[in-house]
């Protein structure tokens, strides 16, 4: 476990400077695409917590993105609080029923964004959203703003890393794998379920707050129900419950379509084919492939240890050959 | 002798079916109490009523004299009532050590301390002691899902004892375990009772296992207590023989 913690941190530390300098030569469109990738990675990281680690199917992450985008100023607090409120159904309903509840919420948020013109500008949206300045330095240029996004992404990734490797992360996983057993070990299912939902939603809100100044114009359409579905696809394609899954997934569902635009009319067909193949080959996502390989290695190692230990345990534990066979 | 658990007049009715029909018994500190009875006699329902999985229709459960009837399983656990399940329930994707740390972490500090405190909630040493006690040393880093059935059963039991509980209820610990592993498990349970002074209740079908492990036995039949006392006396009781072999 401790070795794995370090690998995750190491990847973060190596990736950050690379990502800081790499897009320097890109034009504004390229910078927009890379920034979008990072923003969506944040939203996906939040959903990965809710879905991947705590096992709660949410179809509302796109709506939280919208709430964050529309309420940029007081973003995270708002999304967190709304997340707590929406988390309550998660205590009562599970799986597709929770999906239905969050789906309904998504539709409500979309309708508010579209119809409440005095607040959201309705279908005309809100234009000229300012980009931030820091100590008088204008951070509005493509590259500068990309770096703002990158720093926020780094900070939130570290927060998520800390959270998932704390006892909380262990409790989230335990609830997903076996809630009844977790409760019997003293894990407060209500508190942790609400927290997973609220923190995951807050990440969605934070992503929305970056999304608004990134595109400098928001209207309801990017936060429609389909946005939640794409985010769900992002988390699943990247590997639900694996730490870097959201980044891989966001590359897959936000950058790949842009790259495929070069193929003209073919791009949706190619993209659909890639999704189908991925789902068939690895239902646990792209990073799931690596995890499966790692499990395979460690199980072989465990089998070797058991085989080596067999003679010394002959008086007590392992003498049943059938059991040995079943375990390996 | 101090009474750890007091169960008084527990009834649980499902519609017209009286699954548990007025059961009373107690558990003394430091004893291993066996709860046996033929299939469908209401043992598991009674267990679930004590453990907060079900709310009893009538009756009261007290832990160290304080009423605990109707509390949530997680609350009961934090008060010191621990359990295992009939079917094996370890977390397959966590390592053996992580499983044990999970079993102890909610008993330490507040939610905030758990978030900002040490990653292992300061429990690595304690977990490794349990690992050594249940003879799983060479497997500490392995994922629990990769262990053999017997080893997972030991881990399952170790998790129940991790937080230093007041009382542990074991639901059919011998189910599906081969003979050599069974001896191993029995020997570990005896040792934990002797060395840590742990008090526990064991539900079992396996008569030999219960008779050789427990200091006292409660026999249930058709939702009621049929007999209780020392294993030898219970085994010789004609009502018990009738319930098990009769009809």
Q: Which ipTM did the prediction report? A: 0.86
- Specify the pTM: 0.79
**Looking at the complex, does the CB of residue A191 fall below 8 Å from at least one CB of chain B?**
yes
Query: How confident is the model at residue B208, as a pLDDT?
Result: 82
Q: What is the pLDDT of residues A84-124, one digit of tens each?
A: 777 776 666 667 778 888 888 888 888 888 888 777 777 77
- Are B93 and A189 in contact (CB < 8 Å)? no
d(CA A278, CA A287): 11
Taking 50 as the pLDDT cut, the residues of chain B under it are 247
The rounded distance, in Å, linking the Cα atoms of B170 and A42 is 44
Closest Cα of chain A to B77: distance in Å? 5
What tokens were used for A208? 């929305």
What value, to the nearest 5°, has the Cα angle with vertex B238 and ends B8 and B32?
A: 45
Name all domains of chain B by residue range, CATH numbers in brackets: 1-80+165-246 (3.40.50.300), 88-163 (no CATH)
Q: Which of A183, A295, A324 sits opposite B74 (nearest CB)?
A: A183
Distance CA A270, CA A268 (A): 5
The model's pLDDT over B179-228, given as tens digits with 9 standing for 90+, comes to 888 888 888 889 988 887 889 999 987 788 888 889 999 998 888 898 89
Burial class of residue A320 (count of CB atoms within 10 Å of its CB; 0-12, 13-18, 19+) = middle
Q: Which residues of chain A have pLDDT under 70?
A: 1-5, 72-79, 89-94, 132-140, 306, 309-328
pLDDT at A311: 53
Residue B10 bridge partners (DSSP): B23
Across the interface, whether the CB atoms of A171 and B146 are under 8 A apart is answered no
Residues paired with B225 in a beta bridge: B220
Choose the closest CB to B83 out of A166, A184, A320: A184
| Predicted pLDDT at A2 | 45
Chain B contact present for A181, CB below 8 A: yes
Which residues of B fall within a CB distance of 8 Å from A310?
A: none
Q: B28 with B201: CB under 8 angstroms?
A: no
């Amino acid at each position: 476990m401790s070795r794995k913690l370090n690998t995750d941190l190491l990847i973060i530390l190596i990736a950050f400077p690379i990502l800081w300098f790499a897009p320097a030569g890109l034009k504004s469109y390229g910078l927009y695409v890379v920034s979008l990738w990072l923003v969506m990675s944040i939203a996906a990281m939040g959903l990965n917590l809710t879905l991947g680690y705590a096992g709660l199917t949410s179809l509302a992450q796109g709506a939280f993105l919208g709430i964050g985008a529309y309420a940029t100023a007081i973003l995270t607090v708002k999304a967190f609080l709304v997340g707590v409120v929406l988390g309550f159904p998660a205590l009562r309903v599970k799986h597709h029923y929770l999906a239905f509840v969050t789906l309904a919420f998504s539709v409500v948020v979309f309708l508010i964004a579209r119809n409440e013109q005095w607040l959201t500008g309705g279908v005309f949206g809100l234009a000229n959203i300012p980009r931030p300045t820091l100590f008088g330095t204008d951070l509005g240029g493509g590259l500068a703003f990309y770096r703002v996004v990158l720093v926020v992404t780094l900070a939130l990734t570290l927060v998520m890393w800390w959270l998932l490797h704390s006892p909380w992360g262990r409790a989230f996983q335990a609830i997903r794998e076996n809630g009844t057993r977790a409760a019997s070990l003293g894990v407060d299912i209500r508190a942790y379920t609400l927290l997973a939902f609220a923190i995951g939603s807050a990440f969605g809100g934070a992503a929305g707050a970056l999304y608004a100044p990134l595109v400098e114009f928001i209207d309801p359409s990017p936060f429609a129900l389909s946005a939640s579905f794409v985010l769900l696809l992002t988390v699943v394609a990247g590997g639900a419950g694996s730490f870097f899954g959201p980044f891989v997934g966001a590359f897959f569902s936000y950058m790949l379509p842009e790259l495929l635009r070069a193929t003209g009319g073919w791009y949706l067909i190619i993209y659909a084919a890639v999704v189908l193949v991925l789902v068939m080959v690895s239902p646990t996502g792209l990073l799931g492939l690596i995890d499966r390989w790692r499990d395979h290695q460690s199980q072989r190692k465990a089998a070797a240890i058991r085989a080596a230990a067999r003679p010394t345990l002959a008086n007590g534990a392992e003498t049943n050959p059938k059991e040995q066979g079943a375990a390996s | 002798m101090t009474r750890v658990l007091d169960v008084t007049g527990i009834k649980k009715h499902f519609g017209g079916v009286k699954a548990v029909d007025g059961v009373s018994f107690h558990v003394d500190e430091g004893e291993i109490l066996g709860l046996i009875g033929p299939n469908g006699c209401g043992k598991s329902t009674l267990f679930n009523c004590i453990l907060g999985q079900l709310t009893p229709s009538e009756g009261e459960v007290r832990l160290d004299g304080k009423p605990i009837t109707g509390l949530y399983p997680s609350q009961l656990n934090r008060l010191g009532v621990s359990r295992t399940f009939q079917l094996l329930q370890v977390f397959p994707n966590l390592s053996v050590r992580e499983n044990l740390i999970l079993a102890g972490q909610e008993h330490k500090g507040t939610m905030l301390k758990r978030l900002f405190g040490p990653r292992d909630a300061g429990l690595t040493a304690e977990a490794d002691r349990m690992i050594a006690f249940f003879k799983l040393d060479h497997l500490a880093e392995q994922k629990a899902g990769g262990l053999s059935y017997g080893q997972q059963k030991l881990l399952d039991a170790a998790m129940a004892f991790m937080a230093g509980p007041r009382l542990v209820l074991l639901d059919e610990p011998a189910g599906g375990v081969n003979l050599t592993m069974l001896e191993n498990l029995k020997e570990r349970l005896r040792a934990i009772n002797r060395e840590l002074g742990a008090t526990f209740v064991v539900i079992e079908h396996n008569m030999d296992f219960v008779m050789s492990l427990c200091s006292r036995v409660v026999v249930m039949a058709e939702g009621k207590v049929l007999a209780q006392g020392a294993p030898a006396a219970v085994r010789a009781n004609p009502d018990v023989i009738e319930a098990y072999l009769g009809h």
